[in-house]
Amino acid sequence: MENIVKKILDEREINALLVEYCRALDCMDLDAIANLFSDDCVVKFGTDEQLNSRGSKALAKSLERMWRWKRTSHHLSNVIVHFTGSDKAFSKSYVHAWHERFDETTATIYGQYHDELKQENGRWVITKRTMYMNGNDSGFKVKIFPFERKSPPKNWLAPKIDEV
């Protein structure tokens, strides 16, 4: 029973951590972001070298690129957490991230965070984050890893009524 309650509390804490990342990013509190990751974390947004970093300080430094946006808003949802040990977990979440440039053009991504986490010194931190992209509007140009989608079977026919 106590184990179950601990698990519920751990999940609550992990959810709060994922949410705090969004809040801190939207107000560009990069110190707060570094604090959510382990010292040796690995973060990969895409294949481009500039989209990868190792270590929480390097991550915070790398995210300075977000200052090229005038405003951003990161809406987190679809959070699931799985525990792989008493102090280890992974989580998946969706993010709807809106970005506005100083010329007021915008860029939107519909993405996912896939995270590995550990509990150290009584608190959870992200040890590995990989971002995937379900979709994006034409304003969003960053080459985030695409989320793979299954192909239709060979015999698939588009429905007769196009818009159903």
Which residues are near its own copies by CB under 8 A? 1-2, 4-5, 8-9, 11-12, 16, 19-20, 22-23, 26-29, 48, 50-51, 64-65, 67-68, 71-80, 92, 94, 96, 98, 100, 104, 106, 110, 134-135, 137-138, 141-142, 147-150, 152, 156, 158-159, 161-164
Give the dihedral of Cα atoms 65, 68, 73, 76; nearest 10 deg: -20
Q: Which is nearer to its own copies, 42 or 142 (CB)?
A: 142
Least distance from C-beta 86 to its own copies, angstroms?
17
Q: Which is nearer to its own copies, 26 or 116 (CB)?
A: 26
Rounded Cα distance, 51 and 127, in Å: 16
d(C-alpha 57, C-alpha 92), whole Å = 23
Least distance CB 36 / its own copies (angstroms): 13
- Per DSSP, the three-state class of 116 is strand
Pairing of strands 52-54, 106-120: unpaired
Residue closer to its own copies by CB (options 40, 65) is 65
Q: What residue type is 62 in one-letter code?
A: S
Please report how close the Cβ of residue 11 comes to its own copies at its closest, in angstroms.
Answer: 7
The residues, any chain, with a CB within 8 Å of residue 80's CB and separated by 6 or more, are 91, 92, 93
Q: Which is nearer to its own copies, 12 or 123 (CB)?
A: 12
User: Beta strand pairing status for 145-146 and 123-136?
Assistant: parallel
Q: How far is the CB of 120 from its own copies (least distance, A)?
A: 21
